[in-house]
Structure 1
Amino acid sequence: MRIATWNVNSVRSRIDRVEAFVQRHDIDVLALQETKAREDQLPLMGLQSLGYEVAAAGTNQWNGVALVSRVGIEDVQVGFAGMPGFGDPVAAESRAIGALCGGVRIWSLYVPNGRKVGDPHYAYKLDWLARLRESAQDWLSEDTALVGDWNIAPLDEDVFDMAQFAKSTHVTRPERDAFAAFLEDGYVDVTRPHTPGPDVYTYWDYFRQRFERNRGLRIDFVLGSPSLAARVQHAFIDRHERAGSGASDHAPVVVDLA
């Protein structure tokens, strides 16, 4: 079984890339983030013709998550217990969708960005992660994959220039502690052992040729429960999908399960 996660940064703008990607890599389940579309706006005909089912959550042109599966989609859950909202008035955002796909509980997650330290969105991000952790503890006993754009670079090696990011979100101690808490609970970062060296990044800003200069961040992850982690055979980051005009600013992460 091959699963992948990809912050596609508008599925309507990049549906051709999505369809080509699942065919090129023979993907069984693709988790998408930042779809930027309501469910009725999703361009599904091509994926459906390829044998994929789609479960999605989206309310407007921001956020949005989806699961694309050719091995079934059952027991779909939009949001997790206690998931906080944001805004005035406070409302739940489309940032989490989970389902059983081929016997694996897969969650497509789009963790809040945080904007800047001290911003209300930063407090929201930390609260969102804390509530996710509480729910995720109940999923440790089954094959579970928490996948997506975590908007956290857990280690210094995940950042092209720590001096530049020293006072920014994504690398603060509270954010890194929140990510580490999932590992302490028993989840495993299953991609890191298979993606060493200079090709560790999953995100490159469009600004100043960041991709061409490989000045990126590793912020997209697959965290697996112990039983799922034991099934992982290989993982890679598809940098090809970040290249060229019209690309998302994120690259997909692909994981092979026995």
Structure 2
Amino acid sequence: MKNKNIILLLFIGFLGTIGCQKKAEKHPAGIAFSLDDRYLKEWIQLRPLFKKYNAHVTFYVTQFDSLSPQEIQWLHELESDGHEIGAHGAAHIRVLDYWRGSGSLDAFFKNEVEAEVVSMQKAGFRPVTFAHVGGQQTWFTDQRLLRDYFILLRDVSMTERVLPYFTLKRSVFAMDEIYYHFDQPDPTVHALLIDQLTHITDAQLRDGMIRAKNTNTVLMMMGHRPLFDASDEPYGFDVKKLEYLLAESHKLGLKTYTMAELARLSSTR
């Protein structure tokens, strides 16, 4: 009888383990790509590419109040395709630079954050995620941004950073902060910069996608200006690289997510 009880307990434990695994895999592995600033003319040209792979991304718009009616219409078209329109600051000023210049964090929130949100709302958008300008993410500003305005904040990570006396190099596969875990949600995240200044290779990006697939996580990436022709612009990325990302992620069975989806899906677990 005792042996039968032990076997029963082991069987129940096995079923519980299977149940936990299924729960952990409720949301499939994927990639989340975002684009920053206000390259509307180039962004709208990406629509056929995104539709080809049924991909949805996040566009973080800055200086919204200076957009033309045509540019605002393009954003509505992108949103109607299922893409997210997020906020990236009214004047594209780094928070610490603003603070040092004005001496007031209240002024930053009023003029850089609230002004952007209000402008977007007047045009019919409801931004729920925010991309930090220049990677200036601080815990005390994040607390207020999350409390009063947004559900997720995105910063930037790079494979190489030039520091005094040496250059710090990291592999995409080992950069833990660029992988989103649904079972360990964090409203402050980092995305891997793929602009030309990083010299990142397709092989490195594929390594990242493979890690995401194997760990049931989401590889977060970002860029600025899509480049359709040869260019040496540092804060731009070759559209062919984006197509490689989408094609390879499709082959690997990875889903594409917007940044808002990551936060909302985590809250439904």
The TM-score, its normalising length taken from structure 2, stands at: 0.39
Higher relative contact order (CA 8 A, sep 6+): 2
The structure with the largest alpha-carbon Rg is 2
